[in-house]
Structure 1
């Protein structure tokens, strides 16, 4: 065999190895998502239909997800599910890839009212998956539901060492800002400081922070009052209907969790296929039934049973929505201030 023949054979072998490696990568999608956020069996169905293997990882907060994506230079995951204000923050920092809408035909099923929002004009970087709220959870066997009407009630000294707060800096500060009549999206250092001072007065009442599964301390009897996500109440009520949800009179905390693709994801094509699959109406119906959160999928809403579709804990009234406020990116300076005060709050407990 001539030297040229050996070289050609070696080159061909190398090309085959590269092609095989590329194919292996294309046969896998790596997801980084909130826990208990995809219905049972859905990932397996996606693999069966597409031949694409799913590696599924979970996080407990936007802060944890963001830090990991930033440290890894937007590599390591193909699909992530940030909350609304993190979409704008991560896009601004170059951590998200632009979506190819031509590969996402199922976005036609999405409500226009949840598209083209200020945190992502034109949905260049994200598409809404679920939306929900953070309000007040209460065990009505222990506490009269009519005695709690708003966030301000949590500051009553009779709740000393008994409340649950979500482990989320922006949500906790939004609660205090709402009590003071300020916007959740303030950048005013003085208003942020005022919220901090108010929260310091609340800390003696706080027993625990939880953003993994906030329903569990309620169900275990460790707490009977505090912050909680609406979907966690729906899940808890399967076993304990006495756990109820209250929309605080000062305004509920509203959020949208959206699919996005990290800027340096290895398999963007598989990521688009996964996102499109999850936007199928039948999958969206199962997602509402499993998570207890509202869907952005208008076709799926029409397919829900009347009881689920009419459940105000899942689908709040327009009056409640209009009184609440969605979180937005407040910029690096205000974010740093929120985080500074947050660490001081938790350190002082």
Structure 2
């Protein structure tokens, strides 16, 4: 019995020693809670050089994790198993996270660089007075097309996509809000329409486009269009900019009927353990020079007005990606539709996809 007791004591001492050593090493390497900032962001959505710069300037160690959808991000934060000091959700997700008490209100006094954000992108309906969120990137949904492959034809409207000359030439992004929204916009309905008769009308109109649809795809849409395997694509503006940098025959347009104006914002989730580190990182990213570096790397439009002077003129003056207020005022931000209505959008989209095969 004494021998068994000594074994238990030895195991306990060794285990405690190993735990102490790990904690000591983590602390010395910057992995202790107060020296670590854990960021939850979309994939390839920050210049890695900026993370290294932040670590060097601040003394914090960054742990960077990625997600591929707002829903996956929210689920992980709701579960609470992982500490995230910063997350980067889209506007409708922010609205939902507010309702579900998943966000910590921001202290603007700790974000002096917030003054650099264009006033057009502050105090929006999904987060009035920016109580919970800081603008990160913004953009539109539109149409990218290859003029040469279309024999010089210009596209200006969603309704152009029903042209019989485009048979088997169109790629669509695999997104219910984007595709159903395209159908709604083509009928001059709101992107956030909750009228089921309007939604069915939009879906039935989309069904008539199916001869023109080559495929409904994910990220590979960028490669396929750049390589001229399709002449038209419905894409997000940042993807369009990236594709166009690979092929100068391409152009991008926001259709005249209107489209989506989207925002990704930095927030501090309820899981945060290092508030000071979170504020330090946010303020670092709001610095105009850092925002400009990040904008060139990512390719999306920056809401940081002060950063524009640090960008090449061919970027900052390109009205396709920095449209004037007259256009942006016509665009719509996705609203949180609620579970039942979102499920209905997804159901219609799935039916459309099956019809397109």
TM beyond 0.5: yes
Give the structure 2 partner of residue 304 of structure 1. 311
Q: 2:47 aligns with which of 29, 39, 51?
A: 39
Deviation, structure 1 residue 87? 1.0
Give the structure 2 partner of residue 62 of structure 1. 70
Written as runs of structure 1 = structure 2, the 5 A alignment for 1:59-98 is: 59-70=67-78, 72-73=79-80, 75-98=82-105
Task: Say which SS state the counterpart of residue 131 (structure 1) adopts.
Answer: strand
Is residue 234–residue 313 contact of structure 1 (8 Å, CA) maintained in 2? no
Is residue 147–residue 153 contact of structure 2 (8 Å, CA) maintained in 1? no
Larger Rg: 2
Give the structure 2 partner of residue 168 of structure 1. 175
Number of matched pairs:
337
Normalising by structure 1, report the TM-score.
Answer: 0.86
**CA distance in structure 2 between the partners assigned to 1:53 and 1:296 by the alignment:** 26
Give the structure 2 partner of residue 274 of structure 1. 281
**CA distance in structure 2 between the partners assigned to 1:79 and 1:213 by the alignment:** 28
Deviation, structure 1 residue 24? 0.8
Task: Say which SS state the counterpart of residue 244 (structure 1) adopts.
Answer: strand
Normalising by structure 2, report the TM-score.
Answer: 0.84
**CA distance in structure 2 between the partners assigned to 1:185 and 1:143 by the alignment:** 32
Give the structure 1 partner of residue 158 of structure 2. 151
Instruction: Call closer, same or farther: CA 1:217–1:183 in 2, change over 3 Å.
Output: same
**CA distance in structure 2 between the partners assigned to 1:144 and 1:57 by the alignment:** 44
Instruction: Call closer, same or farther: CA 1:203–1:27 in 2, change over 3 Å.
Output: farther
| 1:257-288 superposed Cα distances (whole Å, 9 cap, x missing partner) | 11112222333332222211111110111122
Does residue 177 of structure 1 match 2:184?
A: yes
Give the structure 2 partner of residue 131 of structure 1. 138
4+ runs deviating over 4 angstroms: 16-23
Does residue 50 of structure 1 match 2:65?
A: no
**CA distance in structure 2 between the partners assigned to 1:80 and 1:309 by the alignment:** 27
Give the structure 1 partner of residue 253 of structure 2. 246
Task: Say which SS state the counterpart of residue 257 (structure 1) adopts.
Answer: strand
Residue ranges of structure 1 left out of the alignment (5+ in a row): 1-9
Deviation, structure 1 residue 156? 2.9
Residue ranges of structure 2 left out of the alignment (5+ in a row): 1-12
Task: Say which SS state the counterpart of residue 194 (structure 1) adopts.
Answer: helix
| 1:36-88 superposed Cα distances (whole Å, 9 cap, x missing partner) | 32124111111111222222233333344334434x34844332212212211
Instruction: Call closer, same or farther: CA 1:222–1:266 in 2, change over 3 Å.
Output: farther
